[in-house]
Amino acid sequence: MNHGSTLGAGVRTGPARAIRKSRWPARLDWMQSVSGLILALFMWGHMFFVSSILLGKDAMWTVTKFFEGYFFFGRAFPGLVSIVVAVVFALVIGHALLALRKFPIDYRQYRSFRDHANTMHHGDTSLWWWQVVTGFALFFLASIHLYVMLTRPGSIGPYGSADRMWSDIYWPLYLVLLFAVELHGGIGLYRLAVKWGWFAGAHPDAARRRLKTLKWALTVFFLALGLTTLAAYIKIGIEHAPNAGVPYTPAWAQTPAVK
């Protein structure tokens, strides 16, 4: 009987090949985790950059111009921002594609999951469900935002962003996007920490409780920061509405200089 032969380096022939488990599910899982981790870390940076408006219009203008290469090349290239957005967009799409494998595909699968979850009353299982729901919402919400950032990078700035929020009525989108992304990212990081055993010591249960507290603290912090930032842009947007579309120029860069 032929049980198959090994040709070296794990390559098998014959019937034994059929029982060899594929490594792809594990690889795809790893890729999903890593892309999620990169996006979560990106989001932390993003929230701080966007919230520079809380330090004033000049601060946000400086951050914007920094990413446009103004301080390196002596003039702004908004296309540089588009390149970064394209990379982030590709990561988001890849991450979403990988996540699709985990979505319940029909009502029966969904019912079966809900029934199990309800009987178990397991907090982490409910968290997973919230990640699915917010992830689904992000498909649409993040796409709109990223498309605008990709195609209109030059419009980013203290007035441009504030006008978008208020005069172009993007604030409802940002409000829902903020909650969706903060919940999704917070739960995602927590589940990754549990899965990869970060901070797990001799007492896994205690570690998990600590992680959960940290997760909520981070979510509350970023939600508070995001809401304050949103309010700041809306306030500027209302004040600037009569001149919507006119970009911000710091006083020192105006000609003739404004005293």
Q: Which region, judged by CB under 6 A, interacts with ligand HEM, from 77-85, 102-110, 234-242, 251-259?
A: 77-85
The alpha-helical segments, DSSP class H, found in 68-167 are 70-73, 79-100, 107-120, 123-151, 158-166
**Residues with Cβ within 8 Å of residue 12, at least 6 apart in sequence:** 4, 5, 6, 20
User: Cβ 129 to ligand HEM, closest distance in Å?
Assistant: 19
Each residue 129-148 as x (binds ligand HEM by CB under 6 A) or -, in order, gives ---------x---x--xx--
- Give the integer Cα–Cα distance in Å for 161 and 143: 17
Report the residue from 32, 35, 50, 211 that binds ligand HEM according to the rule CB under 6 A.
50
92 binds ligand HEM (CB under 6 A): yes
Q: Which two tokens stand for residue 230?
A: 């949103």
Q: Characterise 70 by phi-psi region: left (phi > 0), alpha (psi -120 to 50), beta (else).
A: alpha
Region near ligand HEM per CB under 6 A, out of 25-33, 80-88, 93-101, 208-216: 80-88
Name the residue nearer to ligand HEM (CB basis): 173 or 207: 173
Helix axes 123-151, 171-195, angle to 10 degrees: 130
Looking at the Cβ atoms of 85 and 99, the one nearer to ligand HEM is: 85
CA–CA–CA angle 60, 158, 181 (5° rounding): 75
Pick from 63, 98, 127, 149 the residue near ligand HEM by CB under 6 A.
149
Among 178, 193, 194, 236, contact with ligand HEM (rule: CB under 6 A): 178
Which are the contacts of 125, defined by CB distance < 8 A and separation ≥ 6?
Answer: 116, 117
Q: How far is the CB of 108 from ligand HEM (least distance, A)?
A: 31
In this complex, which beta carbon is closest to ligand HEM, that of residue 85 or of residue 98?
Answer: 85
Name which position in 193, 226, 236, 237 contacts ligand HEM (CB under 6 A): 226
Distance CA 259, CA 251 (A): 8
Cβ proximity to ligand HEM: between 92 and 194 the closer is 92
Tell the burial category of 45 from Cβ atoms under 10 Å away from its Cβ (0-12, 13-18, 19+): exposed
Choose, by CB under 6 A, the member of 23, 46, 203, 209 that binds ligand HEM.
Answer: 46
Residue 195 is encoded by which pair of tokens? 């899965």
- What 3-state DSSP class applies to 54? helix
Catalog residues that contact ligand HEM under the rule CB under 6 A: 46, 50-51, 81, 84-85, 88, 92, 138, 142, 145-146, 149, 156, 161, 164, 174, 177-178, 181, 226, 229-230
